[in-house]
Structure 1
Amino acid sequence: MSYLRKLNKAYAQLSNAKDLDDLLRLSIKAVKGTLGFDRAGFLLFDAQTQEQVGTWGIDAHGKLRNEHGLRYPITDDHLMLDSSESIRLIRNKSLNDMGEAQGVGWHVQAMVSSEKELFGWLFVDNLVNGKDISQEEFEVLETFSTVLGQLIIRAKIEDTLNSTLKSLAVKDQPQPETQSKLARLDTHIEHSSESMILAEKLIGLVPMSTRYIGNLVNFISLLSPKQFDAANIDLLDTAKSSANRLSRIFRFVDARVHATTNDKRQTVSCAAVAKYWQSQFQPLFDKTTHSLIVKADQPELLVTIPLILLTQLVKELMSNALYHGLESTTGGQISIKLSSQGGLLTVTIDDNGIGLESSQLNEVSKLFVTSKPNENLGTGLNVVQHYAERWLNGQLDLSESTQGGLQATLTFPVSQEQA
């Protein structure tokens, strides 16, 4: 089996991960079982203590081992984000097992990271069989560690959303001033927390899935069998297979989110929605110099809405304002306002950031378009627009904010009544 097919098989195995820790466990099993290396281990980076923290590894006998209790100090030998290399091969190195020297051989250290965050290191060696490493095998480990970093980003998003929803679902003592307004919402949460957690996790995967699909579709469109010799034709077959798989994944995710959230609507006051969003989004501002204001024009108005889905769409728009509009400013402000008129609910997100040129307003919501100069793909606004039109029977409009930045407006029909 070619290494390209082995990588493809390994990625398919990692797609079954239940959470971040399970992803790391499956990655170590894949390095040994599917890619065929002797030993591997993954050590997380603890930025607070400046330590490497154990997760899963292969012992001196080639068996998978739980290493969560291990902690080691960071040394000058560790690859960091400011390093000029992301993977390193050292030959004739002393190979250890649980801190004890076991032999001498080659040792690969691969940094696993996003562009701005170091997750940890994948370590691979040849302690068990002593087989040398080829250049192709080294490149396979480099590719695998790069993709693993992207999968960790996705897993961390899922874990964060899962944790957030679980904390909401078990909350049984709301503040007195909001208890009556949240009664209907709390009752719904108590009986359907599982479906809401699933919805949050799936919604979080949509931008990642569309990004992958866009990369692969654009890549494959430029390829033809004539560009490949017989020895490398597997490359094109694997690319086509990956594109087809991700297309199916996206369609599945889209259908699952729809099935999970479409009929899960809550009747709740606009004031309760505003308080809920303030509590959910405020932690994103706590370590910044920016501020968040959420308000409702008609606080006592009751509206029947798919709250979980709507919260995700508003969070995407608010995050876009926070991380793009206010990225290069200090003391910025984002305001979220709910208003209703003529059977329509309007959610307006304003910021006083850098805004967009008028020529960008229509383009930036298209799939794989972004306002950032060094990035070629963007998905967030397109995803919001897709859900607003398909599931809310509404629309997303972008315009210049009265505060000087960008204004994003979600408008859709709702049933409503006075409390």
Structure 2
Amino acid sequence: MKATNLSRTLLTRVLSFYFVLTFLVTCVQIGAEYVNTKDNIKKELLTIERTFSSSLTRAVWELNTQQAVDIAQGLVDIPTIKGIRVTDENNQVITQLGEVSNSTEYQLLNENDGYLHINSTSDGLFGHSFSLIFEFSGRTTKVGSVTLLSSNQVIFDRIEVGIYFLIGNAMVKTAALVFLFTIAFNKLLTNPLNELTEQINQFDVDDPEASKLHIINYENNELSVLQDSYNNLISELVRHKEELASAQLEVMSTNNKLDEQNLILEQEVARKTSSLSNTMLKMETQQRELLEQQTQLKAENLRRSNTEKTLTQTNKELKNSITELNKAQERLLEAEKMALLGSLSAEVTHEVNTPIGVSITSTSYLSDLLSFLKNDIQENKLSKKGLESFVEKAEQSLELQLNNLNRASDLISSYKQVAVDQTSDKIRQIDLVKYTHEIVNSLTPKIKKTNHVININCAEAVEVYCHAGAISQIFTNLIINSLKHGLENVDHGEINIEISKQNNTIHIRFSDNGIGVPEEQLDHIFEPFYTTKSGEGGTGLGTHIIHGLVVDTLNGKIEASSPEGQGLTFDISFDNMQ
């Protein structure tokens, strides 16, 4: 099967996400430009109203139709206005110019600012309507109304250059990012991996020492760790090969000494046989028996020699196998712990993105409010109502930012302490109840996906001097074990953690209301690699890690029980180390 290029795969996924994000952000920016420009046009229509309403009112009041038509013609010549309609007090059309027809229907959306929704065969029209009020002798009379119309084409003409700039900016940044990522991936991943693979393929069985990896890598990363591990394996192979050669020399020396002893024995037997043959005839029979015994002794010596050699070799191979197995088990346990921590890191990062994204959005909204306030101040249009509205919205925005940033800070703080402890063997004093809450908070991304509840019960604070990292790993594995196994098919699960202290002994009772564990499986629950989900990604190391941390690290005891229909319970006890 053709191998997949890891660098290309990672680059493709990262850039795909960036392309989608850049496209969405650019669309949002274009939409914002459109809305902002449309609002500016509406403000221009209001300015035109304040400028020409008095002259149009007098022309309509004096029934000077020609003057009203001239004013309307002048307004239509303004680029912002695409059409105008002037009616009298009986709603009879005095004049209409531009993109206006009798079939056009108008619907007033907001009586305060006169904004219109227009149903017309001409798409993209919007406008502003206002009444013509004439004041005479302290009395006001409506003499008519005016409708000013604009269109989306005006908006597009204004933001056309901005749209091109946004698209060009996104394309330039995307091209630069593709170039930089390509260089970085080739330098940091593809080239070192190719060099590593080439040197491994040149492995020489007869001279392992010359097959060690020698890669020029100035950064201490995973490739450096892989190189060191491979070279250590080669060193171990060379050392075992030398020990085997030494053992073979010892066996050959022993066989030579045994041959010399056999030769001496044969000479002694021959001498005694020769002297006794002249003395008495009966000794001939004894001599033959002695020769037979000698033959049997040689065979027995040879058999014992072969057996000793076999046992020696088997014993050495067994010791090496046990050593390698212990090392592999330690590496596997450490990998399981780090995999769990890596999973938590990814989910905490995803969880933190939400409040930070809300804070960024709120900050952008506050920036827009400040821009509008600045424009109103510069145009001397700032009112008390507008200022109060700004203050109210700004307070809401700041409160939203503060709440979300505090939420992100709490989640990062809890995860930071738990992550540091899980990678450290440091012994320190902790408040066990408070620390347990921090561990549960760090697991919030996993818990929030379910309807389960975690209850921590303790009458008072429990100060304990112990391995904080062991406590963190124990609770993390227990909670994840319950979520993955015990509460997998439970809609509303419950996990109870009870903590107590008697004299110098800490007692922890961890239980859930899940499906529990059958009695025949409960006896194997702490065995390594024992899992009921071997085909679904289970490693069978979770409870084994818990048992090792409680017994070996904390010098404590752990027992598991699962009454039928009552879930699974772990009872843990250990002594304060201070």
- TM-score of the superposed pair, with normalisation by structure 2: 0.31
Higher relative contact order (CA 8 A, sep 6+): 1
Name whichever structure is richer in strand by fraction.
Answer: 1
Instruction: Name the larger-Rg structure.
Output: 2
Name whichever structure is richer in helix by fraction.
Answer: 2
- TM-score of the superposed pair, with normalisation by structure 1: 0.41
